Structures are given as structure tokens and as C-alpha cells.
Amino acid sequence: MLSNVLLKAINEQINKEFYSSYLYLAMSAHFEEVNLPGFAKWMKLQADEEQEHGMKFYAHLLERGAKVELMPIAGPLIEGKSNLEIFKQVQTHEAAVTASINALYDLALKEKDYPAQIMLQWFITEQVEEEKNAADIVAQLDMIQDKGTAVLMLDHQLGHRGKE
């Protein structure tokens, strides 16, 4: 049986994953507006992945006969204007998600909830990749400083996400 405290925290995590999806979808729409289809595609795939993350937690609760509680999703807020600022926001956001997953794992250890620990190990590995992906793009944008040709090249590269 999932403890109430862990159940509440997992339901909150479902909300955080869906908020992440909403945030990246808003960023995807922004990049469509500014004619960077590769950046937009990268963000759309990221938004889809976040939905999958939310659904993994959702499935875990149902498999264990626990109650899924879907809460309202806040409006997404894009904080910066430049490509670099937007990807820095992704990086900061992913670091916050990692902290949240780690806190869930701590709680699962405290509650001696072994199935939740195993489920969360997937997310711990995934967050390493999520943070690396964001950091790599921030580093590239930092290097090119919104120079037109280089931005277009990066846009082309990001448009290949999912084709590797």
C-alpha cells in the first residue's frame, strides 16, 4: 500500500510533469512564431515526453490501486525572450524537476516503498539525460550568441531530434 504522504507527492509530481509539457508546448508555439521550426520540433517532442512522464506516474498509481488526483495545470510562463534565455529556463526547470524526483525518492526510502523506489530509478536516470540535453543546447547558444547563420544551423540540427 502506498502511504498517504507518498501518494500525495506522486499526484503532485503528475501535475509537475503535465505543467512541464504545457511549458514546452508554449515554447514550441513561440519558436513556430519566430520561424525556427527545428527549435519548435525539439520543444514539441519534449512536451510529448513530459506527457509520457506524467502517464508513467499515473499508471503506477493505478497499478497499485491508489487514487489518481488530477489537479489544475498552471498557465505556462516563458520568462525570457532570446533563444538562449528560453533554453536557460529549460535548464533551470529541469534542475527543479530533478530535485523534485530526488525528494520523491527520499520519501520512498523513508516509507520503505520498494515498488516506488524501482519506478523512480527510471526517472533518476532520465533526469541525467534531460539535464544534459538542455545544458548542451545552452552551451551551443552561448557560443553562437544569436548570430543568424549559426542559429539556422542549430535549428536544422534540432529539427533532426527523433531521427537519430
* Binding site residues, ligand FEO, CB under 6 A: 17, 20, 50, 53, 94, 97, 130
Between 34 and 128, whose beta carbon lies closer to ligand FEO? 128
Residue 3: name the closest of 68, 70, 66 by CA: 66
Cβ pair 9, 107 in contact under 8 A: yes
CB of 92 to ligand FEO, least distance (A): 12
Residue nearest to ligand FEO (CB): 53
DSSP letters of 66-80?
A: PPP---PPPPP----
Q: Would the CA dihedral through 29, 31, 37, 40 be positive or negative?
A: negative
CB of 151 to ligand FEO, least distance (A): 24
Between 131 and 153, whose beta carbon lies closer to ligand FEO? 131
Between 11 and 20, whose beta carbon lies closer to ligand FEO? 20
